Amino acid sequence: MNSGSPELAVVVIVHGRHEHLRRCLSSLADQVLPATRVVVVAMADDRAGALAEPTGAELGLPITLVAMDADPSRLPLARARNLGVAAADSANLVLLDVDCLADPFLLQRYADAMSSPRPPGLGSGPVVWCGPVTYLGPNARVDLPGSDPASTPRIDWQMVRSHRAPHTARPDPAAGALVPGTDLRLFWSLSYAITAADHAAAGGFDEAYEGYGGEDTDFARRLGTAGGGICWVGGADAYHQHHPVSRPPVEHVEDIVRNAALFRARWGSDCMTGWLEEFEGLGLVRRTGDGWQTVQGAR
């Protein structure tokens, strides 16, 4: 452990997934390096806000709640992250998806990475520090045996770690290793660390993106434009709790078409092309010159 590790605040944005939120907070209570503050941004979700503060009190977590008005049908994820960063009022930040369980060493690994000399090749621009993410299956048990269902779940880390299988699309360095990346397109906001100064240098998340898709890829472009980079942090593991998904995410087709058009207008290139082509095959969208539009009456 690095005795000079910086203090870290954690930002979690949420709408629904209330049991996932309780387990996410439980994982943060198990950290080797405690968070100085845990900001929960509840997007159009009074119940999440009502859960966060008593759960934090039960776990001994310093919770700051940000209640955010929003249209539940088109959640402003980018704006929520920016609000969370501002409310954290911290020089060093970890942003964690509500679906993620933070391994007990996650904050320590991120703090050590941020306080270490920069690895050669990372440059001097803003940096996102990213750890491995394992997607847990629907039958993965995460609670300690005998947990009281009326209380906040406590995590069975031996069991959770037995499922470790980081997503193969991204690097998985040895614990404690720092590996500069070359492809900013691999940035996901599921789990990453950044300084408040670097968040500002990249311009934050573009709040024009609303609903599902595009804001992470746009943030990576903003980071690259600012001369920034990505560094993979070995051992900063997060475990994504299972929830049902559509493949492709047909319930988000309107958001994806809108946000893809915004991305092309911003950057002159495409994003989310794989999903759009799958939607096209299902008759949900059609190409219009360089862009896409939804097919009326297709759903």
Spatial contact of 223 and 271, defined as CB atoms under 8 Å apart: no
Find out if CATH 3.90.550.10 is the number for domain 9-240: yes
Q: Is the model's pLDDT at 1 over the cut of 50?
A: no
Spatial contact of 205 and 215, defined as CB atoms under 8 Å apart: yes
**Alpha-carbon torsion angle 194, 93, 196, 78, nearest 10:** 80
**Average pLDDT over the chain, rounded to whole?**
94
Instruction: Please identify which residue in the block is written with the tokens 């219009």.
Output: 288
Q: Give the model's pLDDT for residue 298.
A: 67
Q: Is the model's pLDDT at 94 over the cut of 60?
A: yes
Q: Is the model's pLDDT at 247 over the cut of 90?
A: no
Q: Is the model's pLDDT at 4 over the cut of 90?
A: no
Of 204, 281, 213, 287, the residue nearest 245 (C-alpha): 213
- Give percent of the chain above pLDDT 70: 98
More confident residue, 298 or 206: 206
Q: Give the model's pLDDT for residue 299.
A: 63
- pLDDT tens, 18-46? 999 999 999 999 999 999 999 999 999 99
- Rounded to two decimals, what is the model's pTM? 0.95
Tokens of 133: 């993410």
Q: Give the model's pLDDT for residue 148.
A: 78
Question: Angle formed by the axes of helices 46-59 and 18-29, to 10°?
Answer: 20
Parse the chain into domains and list their residue ranges. 9-240, 250-294
End-to-end CA distance of the chain: 54
Listed as own residue / partner, the contacts of 60-65 with beta carbons closer than 8 Å and 24 or more positions apart are 60/29, 61/25, 61/28, 61/29, 61/35, 62/35, 62/36, 62/37, 62/38, 63/25, 63/37, 63/38, 63/39, 64/37, 64/38, 64/39, 64/40, 64/88, 65/39, 65/40
Query: Of 30-34, 150-154, 241-245, 290-294, which one has max mean pLDDT?
Result: 30-34
Cβ count near 16 (within 10 Å): 16
